[in-house]
Amino acid sequence: MSTITVDKIRNICLIGHGGSGKTSLAEAILFNGGSIGKMGKTTEGNTVMDFDPEETARGISISLAAAHTHWQGCKINVVDVPGFYDFAGEQEEAVRAVGSAILVADANGTVSVGAERAIAYCLRKHVPLMIFINGIDKENANYVKTVEAFREKYGRKIATLHAPIIRGNKMQGYVSVISGKAYEFKPGGRIEVPVPKDMTGEIVLLKQILTEAAAETSDEFLEKFDENGGWLSNDDILAGVRKGLFSGDTIPVLGGSATQNMGVINLMNEIVSILPSPIERRPVHARLLDTDEKIDIVCDETLPFSGQIFKTLSDPFAGKLSIIRVFTGSLKVGDVVWNAQSGKEEKINTLYLLKGKKQEPVDEIGTGDIGAIGKLSSSLTGDTLCSFEKKIRFKDIDLPAANFAMAIKAERSEEEDKVFQGLNRLKEEDRSFVVEKNAETGETIVRGLGETQLEVICCKLKNKYGCSALLSTPVVAYKETILGAAEAEGKHKKQSGGAGQFGVVDIRICAGAADGLFEFVDETVGGSVPKQFIPAVEKGLREAIKHGPLAGYPVLNVKATLFDGKYHPVDSKEVAFISAAKQAFEDAVTRATPVILEPVWSYEVEVPSDYLGDVLGDITKRRGRVLGMESDGDKQKVLSEVPLSEMLRYTMDLRSMTQGKGAFIGEFVRYEKVPAEIQEKIIAAKR
């Protein structure tokens, strides 16, 4: 059996803006818990948590990583989450596994865009959150100003658990508001010191504010507060902070320096004392497979086993590693479990606890814990594994919309199969990108969250699977149509000895097919074209509309009428009427006012109100039409229609325009005629 009981587990993820020091903080936590022998240097790529070659090369985290350590009798599972927006899908997967989050923020006196986004996410998902203001040792760092910036934005939610001891504009230590004890930071830890005399009044005031906030979290505490003349015990204050933390009404703030290991031990103490154990986290939605009944799953070691894979690591040599969070029961080596997605059973041959890229073999992963399973045959990220006794399926992990698209192809044609096999393997690791074939253009399209993500995918194809792929801007699937009408005769005559070929057709074309695509009408009389050749005429026309006269794009919305023709009783054949129909169409279509059509999509763009003017102006510049706006709190939803050709890089442009705070979804609505000047450019580019 597991040596750690579920109430002694703390599962946390580190979130925040890229470059704020999340990986450094993870290293310090592992070091303090004795899980690693020395502090890592994240800039050199030799950390426990950043081990992928792409992470080393780029100096950023691109994939979540899990590790564990022990502190004060508790096991802390740390999931380090990338801060760069292109890898936001990793955050969704991490949050499903953990019970709480720690936002790592720079001590630069402001609230970064990444911090805003992370806090909004946690409040929306009801994830208990603490803030660790990092880098208090840096030049120009200002812990106090940073706390004030958070308080200005989030008001009374920000709970100051520690009053900073400031000397020379630097935070040298802190006073615990609840206990009243003072500590100074020392390399690798802290020492207790007397409370500075000039801070006595400040501590009293901060404790009163914290006491009032704690009293408001329950009727019981409010009653005690009133009965005791505005006083609560330290234990009650701590319990009130925990209640507020769980409800999203309280966000405790601490500070330190991850690289100098200052304030990290204090953070670990708070992780153990105020963050929830797995049995205290909110239920996870699921459904029973036998009855399709919706149920809520709470962490319970007495129930049959259930767990969800929240990350897959795939190595071409070592095989597949599935990282799982166990929600109920326990998972043991030798167990046979049920995959609710694939409908197949899986044999558990190896289990591990994780320390980044290193694995420690174990016999069991207990309730509430996080570990990994080696070489499952049919299980992917997001899949539910459960016992046969109680078959359930957890709610799917929500992932951000993959709106940024690029065309992808093998650099060398002989590697095409290898590239697509590699993409399928990489999709086991990262479900936030999509690979699809565009039936209209013939291109293979890869969709993700941004340019960097797709570039990383190409680098992984080369490094992991030995094949090179190229990215390019996708081809827009333009169409052609006609605005007018025209008639033409098509004649096919071949006489060169032996059996001849003869067929003549008279075709009238105009706009307005019944189905909006192509309509064929036979109006011949007197057998001018024998009935057995009518299908050949239609076939020739359907082949002809595949390539329009202007730029070779397919022709839409054409009604073609066969009204006359000629035949030869001996030489007329199907092939002759096919060829004649093509000639007639190609002649007529050039005289029926052909134009190019472009795909128009509807877009729903959500942005903070501050950026509304910029977004509206930008949509107009893209030849878009604003159809309406809707208010949603401090955000505005813009409804518009814009040509697809103008939106190919909108994911990146909107992110830049709104500092990463905007989001959008889009879908195809119809084709429209392009302006004359755009049409000329399209024709010139095609030629």
Span 484-518, pLDDT tens digits: 999 999 999 987 666 789 999 999 999 999 999 99
Answer yes or no: are the C-beta atoms of 644 and 441 closer than 8 Å.
Answer: no
Alpha helices for 22-131 (secondary structure H): 22-32, 53-58, 89-97, 113-125
pLDDT for the residue numbered 271: 95
Structure tokens given for 485: 């009408």
The mean pLDDT of 645-661, rounded to a whole number, is: 93
Parallel/antiparallel/unpaired status of strands 331-332 and 364-365: antiparallel
Amino acid at 36: I
The helix (run of H) or strand (run of E) holding residue 347 is strand 344-347
Digit-coded pLDDT (tens) for 178-196:
999 999 887 767 889 999 9
The helix (run of H) or strand (run of E) holding residue 310 is strand 306-315
Amino acid at 409: K
Domains and CATH numbers, the chain: 6-194+248-280 (3.40.50.300), 284-394 (2.40.30.10), 405-472 (3.30.70.870), 479-592 (3.30.230.10), 596-686 (3.30.70.240)
Give the 3-state secondary structure percentages of the chain, helix then strand then coil, rounded to 5: 30, 35, 35
Answer yes or no: are the C-beta atoms of 81 and 91 closer than 8 Å.
Answer: yes
The helix (run of H) or strand (run of E) holding residue 409 is strand 404-410
Map residue 508 onto helix, strand or coil.
strand
pLDDT for the residue numbered 83: 79
Using pLDDT thresholds of 50, 70 and 90, give the confidence band for residue 85. Answer: confident
The mean pLDDT of 533-540, rounded to a whole number, is: 96
Tell me how far CA of residue 580 lies from CA of 432, 529, 533, in angstroms: 50, 12, 11
Structure tokens given for 40: 């890592």
* CB hemisphere CA count around 566 (13 angstroms): 10
Spatial CB neighbours of 287, under 8 Å, sequence gap ≥ 6: 293, 294, 295, 392, 393
Based on the number of CB atoms within 10 Å of its own CB, is 493 exposed (0-12), middle (13-18) or buried (19 or more)? middle
pLDDT for the residue numbered 117: 87
- Rg of the Cα atoms in the chain: 33
**Partners of residue 311 on adjacent β-strands:** 323
Letter string b/e over residues 217-237, b meaning 16 or more CB atoms within 10 A of that residue's CB: beeebbebbeeeeeebeeebb
Beta strands (DSSP E) in 8-143 are 9-15, 65-71, 74-80, 100-106, 129-134
Digit-coded pLDDT (tens) for 19-65:
888 999 999 999 999 877 566 544 444 566 656 666 666 667 778 88
pLDDT for the residue numbered 43: 45
Q: Could you give the CA distance from residue 369 to residue 77 in angstroms, rounded to a whole number?
A: 8
Using pLDDT thresholds of 50, 70 and 90, give the confidence band for residue 539. Answer: very high
Spatial CB neighbours of 411, under 8 Å, sequence gap ≥ 6: 467, 468, 469, 470
pLDDT for the residue numbered 570: 82
Residue whose C-alpha is closest to residue 104's, from 75, 80, 71, 140: 80
Give Cα 27 distance to the centre of its chain. Answer: 25
Task: Indicate if the pLDDT at residue 418 is higher than 80.
Answer: yes
pLDDT for the residue numbered 642: 97
Share of the chain above pLDDT 90, in %: 63
Neighbours of 395 (CB within 10 A): 15
Share of the chain above pLDDT 70, in %: 95
The mean pLDDT of 307-328, rounded to a whole number, is: 87
Structure tokens given for 296: 């809520």
What are residue 113's phi and psi, to 5 degrees? -60, -45
Letter string b/e over residues 654-681, b meaning 16 or more CB atoms within 10 A of that residue's CB: bbebbebbbbbebeeeebeebeeebbee
Spatial CB neighbours of 562, under 8 Å, sequence gap ≥ 6: 505, 506, 507, 520, 521, 522, 523, 524, 529, 534, 537, 581
Task: Indicate if the pLDDT at residue 661 is higher than 90.
Answer: no
Parallel/antiparallel/unpaired status of strands 162-167 and 294-297: unpaired
Give Cα 88 distance to the centre of its chain. Answer: 5
Q: Which residue has the higher pLDDT, 202 or 592?
A: 592
Dihedral, 531, 532, 538, 540 alpha carbons, nearest 10 = -140
Task: Indicate if the pLDDT at residue 647 is higher than 80.
Answer: yes
User: Which of 36-40, 448-452, 465-469, 505-509 has the lowest average pLDDT?
Assistant: 36-40
Parallel/antiparallel/unpaired status of strands 384-386 and 306-315: antiparallel
Q: Could you give the CA distance from residue 382 to residue 647 in angstroms, rounded to a whole number?
A: 31
What are residue 504's phi and psi, to 5 degrees? -130, 135
Using pLDDT thresholds of 50, 70 and 90, give the confidence band for residue 160. Answer: confident
Digit-coded pLDDT (tens) for 203-248:
998 898 888 888 888 888 888 888 888 888 999 999 898 999 988 8
Tell me how far CA of residue 257 lies from CA of 72, 109, 162, 686, in angstroms: 21, 15, 15, 57
The mean pLDDT of 359-384, rounded to a whole number, is: 93
pLDDT for the residue numbered 296: 93
Tell me how far CA of residue 455 lies from CA of 57, 327, 417, in angstroms: 13, 35, 19
The mean pLDDT of 252-280, rounded to a whole number, is: 91
Residue whose C-alpha is closest to residue 81's, from 174, 5, 12: 12
pLDDT for the residue numbered 1: 40
Q: Which residue has the higher pLDDT, 341 or 314?
A: 341
The mean pLDDT of 396-406, rounded to a whole number, is: 91
pLDDT for the residue numbered 355: 85
Alpha helices for 545-647 (secondary structure H): 574-589, 612-621
Q: Could you give the CA distance from residue 159 to residue 238 in angstroms, rounded to a whole number?
A: 12
Classify residue 257 by its DSSP letter: B
Based on the number of CB atoms within 10 Å of its own CB, is 199 exposed (0-12), middle (13-18) or buried (19 or more)? middle
Spatial CB neighbours of 316, under 8 Å, sequence gap ≥ 6: 425, 464, 465
Answer yes or no: are the C-beta atoms of 153 and 253 closer than 8 Å.
Answer: no
Dihedral, 302, 303, 308, 313 alpha carbons, nearest 10 = 50
Residue whose C-alpha is closest to residue 119's, from 128, 107, 110, 108: 128
